Structure 1
Amino acid sequence: MPVPGERQGVRVVAHKVLNNNVVISVDEQGRERVLMGRGLGFQLKASDAIDPAKVEKTFVIDQSGDPEHTRRVLADVPYPVIEAVSAAVDGAERQLERDLGRRLLIAVIDHIQYVLERLDAGIRIPTTNMPELRVLHPQEFAAAATMATVISSRLDRALPDEEAVFLTMHLLNATRDEPNGTAAQLFRRVQHVVATVERGLGVTLDVENPDYARFVLHVQFLLQRLVSQSMLRSNDSSFFEFARVKYPESYRIAEDVKSYVAAATGSALSDEELLYLIVHVERLAAQIGRDTSGSDVLS
């Protein structure tokens, strides 16, 4: 069988042997290509021909990133971890129906190895829930949860519950057509707004309530409108004035959000945006059996 990704009939030789399972060759375009397979590099030396029957996976090293880091990860991480993560990433690509790129593979291998080393050292890993991720990025979160299950099963190791969260962030970095870190920055800002509202209401919101999901999605779109400079605006301020007077506590909380957003983005919310925030906060207040005008909410 030909080496995956190589033209049939071309003799492939080793350029660098990273370990018994990972070898680097150089293709006809002069690109470094990683070839992986159990026992592939055993007793192999530079310039030796590579047995194509032993090659299980191959990819080109991204020279625009940090190729030395890629080589180091593949040389140092135990091959069962590389195999498990490779299978998980392949599954995520099928689930999301897109190519996630080789940077994701290396990033997740590096991350999982770090997690395993912490677990082996008995270091307690705090639980990270981040329910907003399930609402904002359900497809990526589902794929990440499956990835965590695949890795855990193949390594026969229990991974911390929050691995689905961390793997979701890795997937977002790989799938968003935005500058690096933009998705994570947006998510952190959504989290901060949610925390501001929870602090103002004095409660932890019920993440299973549909109003919570609507609120989180609204905040995401609000922040995206700020970036694109397409905030909601209206010439009629009567509804805003009514909400401000009718729901003073929700208005105060919305103003706290407005202050945070201004500090984080340098943009001030319009009264129309503030109005919709007040409405959403009032709905959330109804979850806890009251409204912010001072009267009880009927259940």
Structure 2
Amino acid sequence: MRQQVKIKKVLNNNVVIAEHPSYEEVVLIGKGIGFNRKAEDEISFDKADKTFLLSNEKEKEQYVNLLPYVDERLIDFMNDVLVHIETRMGQELNQHIHVALTDHLAFAINRAKKNLQFSNPFLLEIESLYPKEYQIAMEVVTMIYDKMGIQFPEGEIGFIALHIHSAVTDKTLREINRHNQLISKLVSLVEETMDVTIDKNSVDYHRLVQHLHRAIDRVYQSESLGDEIKLANMLKQEYPVCYNLAWKLIKVMQKQLNKPVDESEVIYLTIHLQRLTHKS
């Protein structure tokens, strides 16, 4: 049997607040879900093509406060955007993306209309770290252009990709940005120490960035790559500059993350650095 909920308030054609037996008050978002509806009407959860549930109290409040400032066409269109992201990612999105991405796109559209340009300093890192999210973000930007005729600058693709990544990993944007800043800092340290300019489009750069990203994840999961003392000693003798730099990077990571980094990371970092700097 379809679950029925009672409408408390119709916010617009596509958003209603309803009473739910388990979640108490919820925000339901779906195309046409509020059309010709009024308080006390009962509707089923699957009334819309795709209905999203905002049960988190703080996020619900943020969303309700945000709505008056957002073009109703965007609220309607956000449903299509989120369904597209969910379908392409092949998994459910954390509900916080409704608030965060709606908010972001509303301001991004205003910026684009005023022709305010800005750069995204982590664009290449984001593309390298989250290629699938980046591709889907490009599709979202195309959808917005097709629907609203608004052309976003390239930097927006990176920000949208971060929102998508946040929604599928349950990591906060602050946490993701902090890790991207750390990776950027480590790459700059490599360039300074080795006195090289790394080609940001090279395969080896992408490998290094992805390795650093995975190393950060391993730190949080307290994972070890294994004890390779012989290999470590050999690398220390063969590539002393890269080996010492690898230790330097690990110390920066430890300080920034405030967590111990497994010593085995030095081996794989040395190999990446040697490959990268040798080609540079």
> Normalising by the residue count of structure 2, what TM-score does the alignment of the two structures yield?
0.81
Mapped to 1, the partners of 2:214 and 2:33 lie a distance apart of 50
The whole-number CA distance in structure 2 between the counterparts of 1:27 and 1:16 is 13
Task: Give the number of equivalent residue pairs.
Answer: 277
Distance in structure 2 (CA, Å) of the matches to 1:127 and 1:105: 22
Matched residue, 2:220: 227
RMSD: 3.4
Q: Among residues 131, 138, 142, which one is paired with 1:138 in the alignment?
A: 131
Match of 2:278 in 1: 286
CA distances 1:133-166 after superposition (whole Å, capped 9, x unpaired): 3333222222222122212221110011122211
Unaligned runs of 5+ in 2: none
| Counterpart selection for 2:28 from 16, 25, 34 | 34
Q: 2:192 aligns with which of 192, 199, 207?
A: 199
1:283 Cα offset (Å)? 0.7
SS at match of 1:31: strand
Distance 1:272 1:13, change over 3 A: closer
Inter-partner Cα distance in structure 1 for 2:16 and 2:261: 55
Alpha-carbon distance in structure 2 between the residues aligned to 1:180 and 1:139: 17
Alignment of 1:20-169 (within 5 A): 22-27=15-20, 30-34=24-28, 36-37=30-31, 40=34, 46-47=39-40, 58-169=51-162
- Select the structure that is richer in strand: 2
State the partner residue of 2:256: 264
TM-fit CA distance, 1:100? 1.1
Task: Say if 1:240 and 1:271, in contact at 8 Å, map to a contact too.
Answer: no
Q: Identify the match of residue 209 of structure 1 among 190, 202, 205.
A: 202
CA distance 1:218–1:93, change in 2 (3 Å):
same
Unpaired runs of 5+ residues, structure 1, are: 289-299
Q: State the percentage of identical aligned residues.
A: 23
Q: Deviations over 1:98-144 (max 9, x none)?
A: 12143212211110111122233443322445323333322222222
Task: Verify the 8 A CA contact 1:22 1:75 in the aligned structure 2.
Answer: no
Q: Which moved more, 1:160-169 or 1:218-227?
A: 218-227
Q: Once the two structures are superposed, what CA deviation does each residue of 1:47-106 show, in whole Å capped at 9, x if it has no partner?
A: 5788xxx96664333234332211122333111222332212111111111121432122
* Shift, 1:263, TM fit: 1.0
Aligned to 1:173: 166
Q: 1:19 & 1:224 partners in 2: Cα distance?
A: 42
Deviations 1:157-213 (A, max 9, x none): 001112221111111211115578554444433333222212323333223322223
User: One-letter code of the match for 1:190?
Assistant: I
1:188 aligned to 2:189?
A: no
Contact residue 20 and residue 38 of structure 1 kept, 8 A: yes
After superposition, the Cα gap between the structure-2 partners of 1:37 and 1:217, relative to the gap in structure 1 and judged at 3 Å, is closer
Query: Quick one: structure 1 residues 41 and 74, their matched pair in 2 at CA, closer, same or farther if it must change by over 3 Å?
Result: farther
1:243 to 235, 242, 249: 235
Q: Tell me, what secondary structure is at the counterpart of 2:28?
A: strand
Paired residues of 1:32 and 1:60 also in contact (CA < 8 A): yes
Contact persistence 1:144–1:165 (CA under 8 A): yes
Per the TM alignment, residue 27 of structure 1 is displaced from its structure 2 partner at its CA by: 4.6
Distance 1:84 1:198 in 2: 44
Provide the secondary structure at the position in 2 that maps to 1:193: helix
Q: Which moved more, 1:61-70 or 1:32-41?
A: 32-41
Q: For the structure 1 residues 211 and 84, does the alpha-carbon distance in structure 2 shift closer, same or farther, using more than 3 Å as the test? A: same
User: What displacement does 1:269 show?
Assistant: 4.8
Larger radius of gyration: 1
Distance 1:71 1:281, change over 3 A: same
Query: What secondary structure does 1:277 align onto?
Result: helix
CA distance 1:136–1:129, change in 2 (3 Å): closer
- Assess, with a 3 A threshold, how the Cα gap between structure 1 residues 129 and 234 changes in structure 2: closer, same or farther: closer
**Secondary structure of the residue that 1:126 maps to in structure 2?**
coil
1:250 and 1:278 in contact (8 A); partners too: yes
When structure 1 is superposed on structure 2, of 12-21 and 214-223 the one drifting more is 12-21
SS at match of 1:74: helix
Please give the alpha-carbon distance, in whole angstroms, between the structure 1 residues aligned to 2:188 and 2:181.
Answer: 10
The equivalent residue for 2:266 is: 274
Hey, what's the Cα distance between the residues in 1 that align with 2:48 and 2:217? 45
SS in 2 for 1:124: coil
Q: Which residue of 1 aligns with 2:247?
A: 255
